């Protein structure tokens, strides 16, 4: 699907410049229609369990296709935090193989979850970034033969720094550690191939570059690993026989991580949004977004804005952060001009998607410069 056709699917572009895909992607008409379909099926037929369970299966398959996995290596959950927590309940820790490594550029929920695990909380090491980036040498140092799991974000949610997942996988596997990737800021804008990249576990939600709404997240666990894990965060939908009370038997593969009734309305949205991303082609989307990212950085710097994170587009994603002295005021001023951006700490994040244009980037940067100077 070409860019112009894709853009036409988003009603908001007629009135707003939406540059906040790192927070909440814009709502497409087909996704909005899918939400209506769920609601209408309840209004019109009263109950829709069979249809919705099929939709869950279709959505799992689409996400699996997106990341180059098998459908039974994917579980559908409600949030990324749920997915990481479920993993934390069942990692097979042993004496001398019990350390958890994560980074200070992980989304805070990663730290919260590991620090809440009694078995791991005293065996954690956090890799400190340098200017919001993590050179590979820091992984060489921090990950040891005692590391059970290394958790990394694909893209830094604060400044758009993109990590070389394949290279990190090589290091952590050499030390015998599992690799878990939080791909929430990458999925939908960067091609992900879990097998080729050497990812053991991956988590991602749907409301950012995957263009869904809150309520759906995915957990990928490679098959032979999933088969060994026994999540203690569980429920009837994780078992082969949901109505059998005694001796529950886990589903094969990663579906064992599913728990209770999913947020069906969000599943309808996710399924349609994934279809759009697959039709657009993540390779095409990435190629287009590299151009917009380059434009945002070059034009922003030319206008005197101060970039956070790497200048080199090879090392970053479509999430461009400019330092701002008063982020709330800047966001408000931009919003008054119908420009939606996302403030975080001391930066304004501009996060274009395939529905944006170069003219929108120029306009947003111009207005940000004005906001900075008021
Ligand atoms: C990279 C990343 N990971 C995790 C999360 C948290 O996801 P959830 O609210 O689904 O647990 C976010 C939310 O913004 C995020 O950006």
Axis crossing angle, helix 358-372 with helix 327-336, rounded to the nearest 10: 130
Fold of 3-28+281-372: 3.90.1150
Q: What is the pLDDT of residues 11-67, one digit of tens each?
A: 999 999 999 999 999 999 999 999 999 999 999 999 999 999 999 999 999 999 999
Kindly report the average pLDDT of the chain as a whole number: 97
Q: Ligand 1: distance of its center to the CA of 80 in Å?
A: 6
**SS3 at position 137:** helix
pLDDT of residue 223: 96
Does 266 contact ligand 1 (Cβ within 6 A)?
Answer: no
pLDDT at 365: 98
What CATH architecture applies to the domain 33-278? Answer: 3-Layer(aba) Sandwich (3.40)
Mean pLDDT of 205-228: 98
The answer to whether 292 and 361 are in contact (CB under 8 A) is yes
Our answer on whether the CB atom of 182 is closer than 6 Å to any ligand 1 atom is yes
Q: Candidates 205, 210, 319: which one to mutate for ligand 1, based on the most atoms within 8 Å of Cβ?
A: 205
Residue 374: pLDDT above 90? Answer: no
Tell whether the model's pLDDT for residue 373 goes beyond 90: no
List, by residue range, all CATH 3.90.1150.10 domains of the chain. Answer: 3-28+281-372
Residues of the chain with CATH 3.40.640.10: 33-278
Q: In 79-192, which ranges are E strands?
A: 99-103, 124-127, 147-153, 178-182
CA of 184 to the centre of ligand 1 (A): 6
The DSSP secondary structure of 203-229, one letter per residue, reads: EEESSSTT---TT-EEEEE-HHHHTT-
**pLDDT computed for residue 61 by the predictor:** 98
The residue whose CB lies within 8 Å of the most ligand 1 atoms, and thus the one to mutate among 109, 110, 155, is: 109
Which residue has a Cα nearest atom 3 of ligand 1?
107
Does the beta carbon of 81 lie inside 6 Å of ligand 1?
yes
Tens of pLDDT along 281-339? 999 999 999 999 999 999 999 999 999 999 999 999 999 999 999 999 999 999 999 99
98 lines ligand 1 (CB under 6 A): no
For the chain, the 3-state helix, strand and coil shares in percent, each to the nearest 5, are 45, 15, 40
- What is the CA(203)–ligand 1 centre distance, in A? 9
Share of the chain above pLDDT 70, in %: 100
Task: Rounding to the nearest 10 degrees, give the CA dihedral for residues 362, 364, 365, 369.
Answer: 140
Q: Which of 20, 78, 80, 345 maximizes ligand 1 atoms within 8 Å of its Cβ, making it the mutation to test the pocket?
A: 80
174-189: pLDDT as tens digits: 999 999 999 999 999 9
């Amino acid at each position: 699907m070409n860019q112009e056709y894709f853009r036409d699917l988003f009603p908001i572009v007629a009135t707003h410049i939406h540059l906040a895909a790192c927070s909440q992607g814009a709502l497409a008409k087909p996704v909005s229609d899918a939400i209506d379909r769920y609601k209408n099926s309840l209004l019109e037929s009263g109950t829709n369990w069979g249809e919705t369970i099929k939709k869950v299966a279709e959505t799992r398959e689409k996400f699996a296709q997106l990341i180059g996995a098998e459908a039974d290596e994917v579980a559908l959950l409600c949030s990324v935090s749920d997915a990481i927590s479920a993993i934390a309940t069942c990692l097979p820790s042993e004496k001398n193989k019990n350390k958890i490594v994560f980074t200070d550029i992980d989304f805070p929920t990663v730290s919260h979850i590991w620090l809440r695990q009694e078995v791991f909380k005293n065996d954690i090491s956090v890799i400190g970034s340098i200017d919001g980036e993590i050179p590979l040498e820091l992984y060489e140092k921090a990950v040891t033969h005692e590391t059970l799991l290394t958790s990394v974000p694909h893209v830094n949610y604060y400044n758009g720094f993109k990590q070389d997942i394949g290279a990190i996988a090589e290091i952590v596997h050499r030390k015998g550690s599992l690799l878990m990737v939080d791909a929430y800021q990458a999925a939908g804008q960067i091609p992900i191939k879990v097998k080729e990249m050497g990812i053991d576990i991956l988590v991602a939600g749907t409301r950012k570059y995957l263009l869904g709404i809150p309520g759906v997240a995915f957990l990928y666990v490679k098959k032979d690993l999933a088969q060994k894990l026994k999540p203690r965060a569980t429920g009837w939908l994780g078992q082969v026989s949901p109505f059998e009370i005694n001796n529950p038997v886990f589903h094969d593969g990663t579906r064992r991580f599913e728990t209770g009734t999913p947020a069906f309305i969000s599943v309808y949205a996710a399924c349609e949004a994934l279809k759009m991303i697959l039709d657009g082609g993540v390779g095409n989307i990435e190629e287009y977004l590299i151009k917009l990212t380059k434009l945002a950085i070059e034009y922003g710097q030319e206008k005197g804005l101060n970039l956070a994170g790497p200048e080199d587009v090879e090392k970053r994603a479509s999430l461009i952060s400019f330092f701002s002295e008063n982020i709330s005021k800047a966001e408000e001023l931009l919003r008054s001009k119908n420009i939606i951006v996302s403030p975080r700490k001391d930066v304004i994040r501009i996060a274009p998607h395939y529905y944006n244009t170069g003219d929108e980037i120029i306009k947003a940067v111009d207005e940000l410069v004005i906001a900075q100077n008021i």
